[in-house]
A = this chain, B = another copy of it.
Amino acid sequence: MAVKLAIVGLGKIAQDQHLPAIAASDDFELVCGATLQGECPTGRTYRDVATMLAGEPGIEAVAMCQPPQARFAAARDALLAGKHVLLEKPPGATLSEVALLCDLAAERNLTLFAAWHSREAPAVEPARAWLAGKRILSAQIIWREDVRVWHPGQRWIWQAGGLGVFDPGINALSIATHILPPFLLTGGTLSYPSNQQSPIAADLAFVMADGAPLTADLDFRQTGPQTWDIRIETDQGRLVLSKGGAEMTVDGVAQPLPPEAEYRGLYVRFASLIAAGAQDVDRAPLRHVADAFLRAERIEVEAFHDEPAVPAMA
């Protein structure tokens, strides 16, 4: 029996990834959606979560795809209504939100799943397997993309709690925390446009538990070729994950990988967590982001305007 599912927030990530993955899944049946803009493909669209929860008692699970600043209240209401919850990344706007949702889900024996889609990328499990038993000498995260291309008009990303360049950068951290030993921030800088509340770039230095260095170069200002790489030097060769984990080389040689299925993988995992009555909420990627805000230096950089300036009327 497919789990009756509702989706909240029919923005870019829902349209591009969640709806196709749900449509392809035998485990879930999409019933309805709540969203400020747009329509649910089932034709049952609500403008707020409380009205949807009251009007659709049959739904069993809810996927939360709205901006992170609004995620907690909706997830709390869904858990209080007895629904299982999938949280898009990041799982909350603060760590305390995530802690409270975990407590609430555990008390009610509901599944709470903090989805880190990049961990489902084709190269991630092969990379983890390849690294087992090797000594890591150093690692670099290089995550440079053009925010105008990938986040057009997403004003929430620049607002406090929107995370700025960490919105994509947390994907890299979700992979790194999965395949590398534990690591700690030792210093770095966050670059804030003079007119925005969230950083447009971050340059961070970490140390892994055994002393090897890890650096992260996150930048939203990249034009031309885009880079989403994690490069790892070991005592037995060099591993490179590129295109966000879609490709992998060892000493420059491309490795065979399974086909891309990130969001399908998330819904397979959500279904199996529900079936098992289990939770999966790894806070480490968001904790590293919080640590960067807590510990790194702030630098002010050039103002960023999402749209080209409109000439003033004479």
Contacts and interface: CB of A to CB of B under 8 A. Distances in A.
Interface stretch (A22-30, A290-298, A303-311): A290-298
B99 A295 contact: no
A289 B293 CA distance: 10
Interface string A169-184: 0000000000000111
A114 interface: no
B287 A185 contact: no
Contacts of A187: 160
A197 interface: yes
Contacts of A290: 95, 287, 290-291, 293-294
Nearest to A177: B96
A100 B184 contact: yes
B97 A160 contact: no
A290 B294 CA distance: 6
A117 interface: no
B96 A287 contact: yes
Nearest to A184: B96
A269 interface: no
B184 A295 contact: no
Given A296-B160, A297-B160, A287 B99 contact: yes
